[in-house]
Amino acid sequence: MENQTKLYPSYMGEFYAANPVKFEKRKNNVKPMLYYGLAVVAVIIVIFPGFIPVAGWLVRTVGVIAVLICLLAAYLSNFDYYNSESGGKIKEVGLKKFKRDETDIDRILEAFLRKDFEYLAELPGAYSAPVQIHVEEDKLGQEMYCLLTSYDSDSNIIGLTNVLTLSGNDYLDHADVIRQMLKDAEND
């Protein structure tokens, strides 16, 4: 396998980490404690399945699954990214996957760079497709961060462009179209 130089970020976290002046990673203490508390409740149910009037093996199985899910959720919710300039929390807006058979990657890339989100919204979506647009937003600072990615031959996610930051008039002009595009993509 060749050693390829990475031109663009593959994930939003890489973009935030590469721009520490604008973005900060803050520890979140509340969510993990909530999930740890739920995990403790699930462990108690596993130890004492008689609290729930259902077959003991079923209660224990569900309890073990709940413990694992709660511990994973606690681990994953440890940190959040914030915009240092506005103080706003950056939240995921959504993801659209473009249908492979009916779309041209070069046209998608051109439309993305032109900020032609109306064209991108019209393209058909698919559940499992290689070309994807990831969108996250800082509502307080009125900024959206859009990343266009694809898969390489080894099924690794690669960035196709730099993250496109929409702020000011660009944010006001495109935010509603992008939100609607992502909402429609959920229904595909």
Residue 69's pLDDT band, with cuts at 50, 70 and 90, is very high
Domain boundaries, the chain: 30-77, 87-187
Chain-centre distance for alpha carbon 36: 23
Taking 70 as the threshold, does the pLDDT of residue 145 lie above it? Answer: yes
pLDDT digits (tens, 9 = 90+) for 108-143: 889 999 999 999 988 888 777 788 999 999 999 999
Q: What residues pair up with 131 in beta bridges, in sequence order?
A: 98
pTM: 0.77
Residue 3's pLDDT band, with cuts at 50, 70 and 90, is very low
Taking 70 as the threshold, does the pLDDT of residue 102 lie above it? Answer: no
Main-chain dihedrals φ then ψ at residue 132, nearest 5 degrees: -140, 150
96, 181 in Cβ contact below 8 A?
Answer: yes
pLDDT digits (tens, 9 = 90+) for 4-21: 566 899 889 899 999 999
- What is the amino acid identity at position 122? E
86, 143 in Cβ contact below 8 A?
Answer: yes
